[in-house]
Amino acid sequence: MAEPIISLSGVTKTYKVGPNTLNAVADIDLEIDAGRMVSIVGHSGSGKTTLLSLIGGLTTPTDGTVKLDGTDIWALSDRELSLLRNRMIGFSFQFASLIPTLNLYDNVRLPSTFDGARSVDENRAQELLDIVGLGDRVYAFPSQLSGGEQRRVALARTLMNEPRLILADEPTGDLDEDTEAEILDIFKKINAEGVTVLIVTHSRSVAAQAEVTFKMHKGHLTEAPVNP
């Protein structure tokens, strides 16, 4: 049987808040097979973003192990973990997340510059900007775009290194319905190509686009009824 692409065992993340200890993520076990589209739904402060960052190697767990493709990511050195993030994961954040001093082409191309061993396809950034409908504005800067356009560019950047896993944190937050539908369509297309997509959201309608939905509440994860 193939190794799940995401495997969490007893993952806990606690924060010290004054004299108290806050369990942002509490003893979570989770396995997600490659090629699935999974969502985690929960209220603000439920710990879903922290969980996503633990899976993506952006924050260190207080306890437990996080494995991606069978590799315990927190056993890796900073250099190895950074390279793994670069090659395997595409992050989509709840804010536009573009570098304001770079034009759209350079923003999209940016992830490909971190891996010296990788041969960069110079046309890919243009192709991706074409896919998200901004191929004619490659030399524009983020400040010249609307919020929805910035999200689409950020999504193009997420796909630059052909990640096998996409971790999306509220990818459609603050967007109008049309743009939200466009973004979700792109996620579905990517998933149809075999890329694993994990979306955390507070929106049940967004979560409903996934094959499997988990519910997160006060740091605990429960598998919710399959999409309403």
Partner 1 sequence: MKFYGHDFNVVGVMDATGMGADESVFMTLDAAYRMAAESQKEALTALDIEPGQISSVLVKVEPGVTIDQVAQRIMSSVPGMVAITANEISRSVTDRLSGFLRGFIVLDIIVWVMSLLTIAAIFSMIVNERRREIGLLRAMGGNRGYIFRLMTTEAVLLTAAGGAVGIVLGGAGLFIFRTVITSSLGIPYLWPPVWYFALLVGGTLLLSVLSGVVASLYPAISSSRLEPYAAIRQGE
Question: Binding residues for partner 1, per CB under 8 A?
Answer: 50, 53, 56-60, 78-79, 82-83, 85-87, 91, 93, 95, 97, 99, 110-111, 114-115, 157, 161
Q: Which tokens hold the place of 85?
A: 């993030």
Residue 142 beta carbon to partner 1: minimum distance, rounded to whole angstroms: 12
Tell me whether residue 110 or residue 131 sits nearer to partner 1 (CB atom): 110
Q: Are 61 and 11 in contact (CB under 8 A)?
A: yes
Smallest distance, partner 1 to C-beta of residue 81, A: 8
Query: Comparing C-alpha atoms, which of 37, 20, 21 is closest to residue 210?
Result: 37
User: By C-beta, is 9 or 82 nearer to partner 1?
Assistant: 82
Helix, strand, or coil (residue 67): strand
Three-class secondary structure assignment of 183-194? HHHHHHHHHHCC
Give dist(CA 215, CA 228) in Å, integer. 13
Alpha helices in the chain (DSSP H): 48-55, 78-88, 104-109, 124-131, 147-158, 177-192, 204-207
Complex with partner 1: residue 151 or 157, whichever CB lies closer: 157
158/213 with CB nearer partner 1:
158
Q: How far is the CB of 86 from partner 1 (least distance, A)?
A: 2
Helix, strand, or coil (residue 137):
helix
- In the complex with partner 1, the residue whose CB is nearer, 57 or 219, is 57
Least gap, CB of 84 to partner 1 (angstroms): 8
Distance in angstroms (rounded) separating the CA atoms of residues 199 and 211: 11
Minimum distance, C-beta of residue 1 to partner 1, in the bound complex (Å): 30
